[in-house]
Amino acid sequence: MRKLTLLLVLVLLAALALSPAAAQDDAFVIGLLMVGPYNDNGWSQAHYDAVVYVTENLENTQMIYLDRVNPADRQGTTPDQLAEELLDQGADMIIFNSDDMKDGATTFATNHPEIPVIHASGDQRWEEGENFVDLPNLGNAFPGMEWTKLVAGCAAAMTTETGKIGYLGPLINDETRRLTASAFLGAQYCWTEKRGMEAADLEFRVDWIGFWFNIPGVTADPTLVSDNFYNNGYDVVISGIDTTEGLVQANAAAEAGATVFNVAYDYDLACEIAPDVCLGSAVFNWRPMYLAEITEMQAGTWTPKFLWPQPDYANYDDVTMNSTYFIPGTALSEEAAAALEELKSELAGGLDLWAGPINLQDGTPYIADGETATLEQLWYLPQLLEGMDGQSVPE
């Protein structure tokens, strides 16, 4: 009996030693809030893996997290309330990983000026932006996916045989409009300049589901939206949602005899789900930004920043250097792969596909001939672009 009691005490002591609350005295504790599941093969997993990378490369750090931080999975709670839970567990900083957590991140940072906060997405720290909030502990981080989506659009345009490209969109806001429009501009450029086709013969349609991923009974079902594309002649679909339905349904359609493909999103291993139909993945790599920011936080030298880095073409495939890149899939043809390499070289050399003349979807001039979009015009794109089909603003 005494041996059993001693064993139980030892087990309890070990458990306490490993708990987040106990570890806070020795480790710098990184608190992570994720909008979706930590293992979604998409947006949230990209953040989770990045913080794991930080803990593996920065001594004396530890992660605690809450995932599925969204109105469906955690009804009656707000992101700032859930951040309080992480704070109670010993978090020394908090990452809010979704654009729709903007208000929660701002509220929490206001209430806890001593706790560093990173809002992944958002523009609260951008002094030239429309939503600047001068808080001493709130920064923003968002890899320059706009430029990677140009490459994703090119992959779609170099592959389609029907001239019909679908875009599986999440909800409609500034972020999703500019990413979708960037994919269109990349597709249009490669369709006309690398394939020699007429711009009018390219059809590019966006269908939105209403959130970052499927919420049954609330959003449109991305499985059905994907199937609708594939069943109506759209032989390439570019994914813009957090999860992998577009890729899964492309694989199902291919197994049924269709020649269709998907461009994956968010995650560097996404193509592994269905390599035969995956043209590649437009990847968010949060590792270098999180490592740099948390290193400063741990040292006590951090100041909040607005981080929106463009791809580093000189180190394009180096995960320690580059915060966003396109990983070609095995389904990409040699010709298409060569076109993508050419495009990357052109972008590195100064090609700007956000150069005028560019009109908004309703025909309103937006970027004049001979001019290029300012960062503000790109970030706050008010509509989709002329030549794109689909809804531009929420109903």
Taken in order of first residue, the domains within the chain and their CATH numbers are: 24-141+287-307 (3.40.50.2300), 145-285+323-389 (3.40.50.2300)
Helix (H, G, I), strand (E, B) or coil at 338: helix
pTM of the predicted protein model: 0.92
- When comparing pLDDT for 314 and 67, which is higher? 67
What is the distance between the alpha carbons of residues 245 and 264, in angstroms, rounded to a whole number? 10
**126, amino acid identity:** W
In the prediction, which pLDDT does 305 show? 97
- Which range, of 125-129, 229-233, 318-322, averages the lowest pLDDT? 318-322
Residue 228 scores a pLDDT above 50: yes
Q: Render pLDDT for 347-358 as a digit per residue (tens, 0 to 9).
A: 999 999 999 999
Please report which confidence band the pLDDT of residue 85 belongs to, taking 50, 70 and 90 as the band edges: very high
In the prediction, which pLDDT does 207 show? 98
In the prediction, which pLDDT does 314 show? 84
What is the distance between the alpha carbons of residues 284 and 179, in angstroms, rounded to a whole number? 13
Q: Render pLDDT for 245-280 as a digit per residue (tens, 0 to 9).
A: 999 999 999 999 999 999 999 999 999 999 999 999
Q: What is the mean pLDDT of residues 41-62?
A: 97
Q: pLDDT > 70: what percent of the chain?
A: 94
Exposed / middle / buried, residue 26 (Cβ in 10 Å: 0-12, 13-18, 19+): exposed
What tokens does 178 get?
A: 């500019």
Q: Render pLDDT for 277-332 as a digit per residue (tens, 0 to 9).
A: 999 999 999 999 999 999 999 999 999 999 999 998 888 888 889 999 999 999 99
For residues 376 and 128, is the Cβ–Cβ distance under 8 A? yes
In the prediction, which pLDDT does 1 show? 41
Structure letter (DSSP) for residue 212: S
What separation in angstroms does the CA of 341 have from each of 197, 275, 319, 334?
Answer: 20, 20, 18, 11
Q: pLDDT > 90: what percent of the chain?
A: 90
Residue 178 scores a pLDDT above 80: yes
DSSP string, 343-375: HHHHHHTT--TTBBSEEBTTS-EEE-BT-B--H
Q: What residue spans of 20-94 are helical by DSSP H?
A: 20-23, 43-57, 79-88
What is the distance between the alpha carbons of residues 54 and 47, in angstroms, rounded to a whole number? 11
Instruction: Say whether the peptide bond before residue 20 is cis (omega within 30 degrees of 0).
Output: no
Q: What is the mean pLDDT of residues 171-177?
A: 97
Residue 4 scores a pLDDT above 80: no
Please report which confidence band the pLDDT of residue 14 belongs to, taking 50, 70 and 90 as the band edges: very low
Residue located via tokens 């400063």: 296
Residue 361 scores a pLDDT above 60: yes
Residue 2 scores a pLDDT above 80: no
Exposed / middle / buried, residue 30 (Cβ in 10 Å: 0-12, 13-18, 19+): buried
Please report which confidence band the pLDDT of residue 25 belongs to, taking 50, 70 and 90 as the band edges: low
In the prediction, which pLDDT does 395 show? 82
DSSP element (H, E) containing 28: strand 28-33
Cα angle, residue 194 at apex, residues 375 and 319 outer, rounded to 5°: 55
In the prediction, which pLDDT does 315 show? 86
Average pLDDT, the chain: 93
